[in-house]
Amino acid sequence: MDAKIKACGKLQQVEEKHRDRVGQKLETMRQRHAHIETKLGQLADLKQHANSSTNSAPTFNSAALMNLTRVDQMLQKMLNHCQQEQAVLEAECAAVKHELEHRHARVQGLEKALERWKKKQSYEKARKEQRLLEEMINARLKRRAV
C-alpha cells in the first residue's frame, strides 16, 4: 500500500506540473489575444482616420487618390489578417482551456484516490493494532487460566 501511495503522490506532482504549464500557456495566449484586440482597434481607428481625411480634403490629384486607395487596401489587408489571427488564437485558447480542465480533473481524481488510499491504510493499521492488542489480552488471559 505504501508503494501505491508513493506512486500516486509522484504521479499527482507530475500532473500538477503539467497543469501549471498548460495554465501558463493559456495565460500567454490570452495576453496575445488582448494584444491583437488592441492592434485591431488601432487599425480600425487608423482606417477611419484615413477615410475621414479623404472626405475633408477639397481636391485630389490622381497620385493622391492612388496613394489613398493603396493605404486603404493595405489597412484592409492588415485588418483581415489580424481578424484571422484572432480567430485562430481564440480556437487555440479554447483547446488549451479544455486541456487545462482535463488536467485539473485528473489532478483532482489523483488527490481523491490518494486520500482514499491513505484512509484505507490508516484503517488497516488501526485494525492490525486492534488485533495485536486483542491477541496480547487473550494470551495474558490464557496464561492466568493455566
The residue with greater pLDDT, 107 or 146, is 107
pLDDT for 106 beyond 90: yes
* pLDDT at 96 (0 to 100): 94
Q: Look at residue 53 and tell me whether its pLDDT is greater than 80.
A: no
pLDDT of 47? 83
Predicted local confidence at residue 90, as pLDDT: 93
Question: Architecture of 2-145 per CATH?
Answer: Orthogonal Bundle (1.10)
Mean pLDDT of 101-105: 94
Of all residues in the chain, the percent with pLDDT exceeding 90 is: 64
Measured CA to CA in angstroms, residue 25 lies from 73, 95, 101, 106 at distances of: 34, 11, 13, 18
pLDDT for res 124? 94
At residue 64, the pLDDT reads 77
Tell which phi-psi region holds residue 100, choosing left (phi > 0), alpha (psi between -120 and 50) or beta.
Answer: alpha
| Residues whose CB is less than 8 angstroms from the CB of residue 4 and which lie 6 or more positions away in sequence, other chains included | 117
Mean pLDDT of the chain: 89
60-94 pLDDT, tens digit per residue, is 778 877 888 898 899 899 999 999 999 999 999 99
- Supply the pLDDT for residue 146: 67
3-state secondary structure labels for all residues of the chain: CHHHHHHHHHHHHHHHHHHHHHHHHHHHHHHHHHHHHHHHHHHHHHHHHHHHHHHHCCCCCHHHHHHHHHHHHHHHHHHHHHHHHHHHHHHHHHHHHHHHHHHHHHHHHHHHHHHHHHHHHHHHHHHHHHHHHHHHHHHHHHHHHC
pTM over 0.75: no
pLDDT at 55 over 80: no
Cell numbers linked to 104: 485539473
Output the pLDDT for position 51: 76
Residue 103, pLDDT above cutoff 80? yes
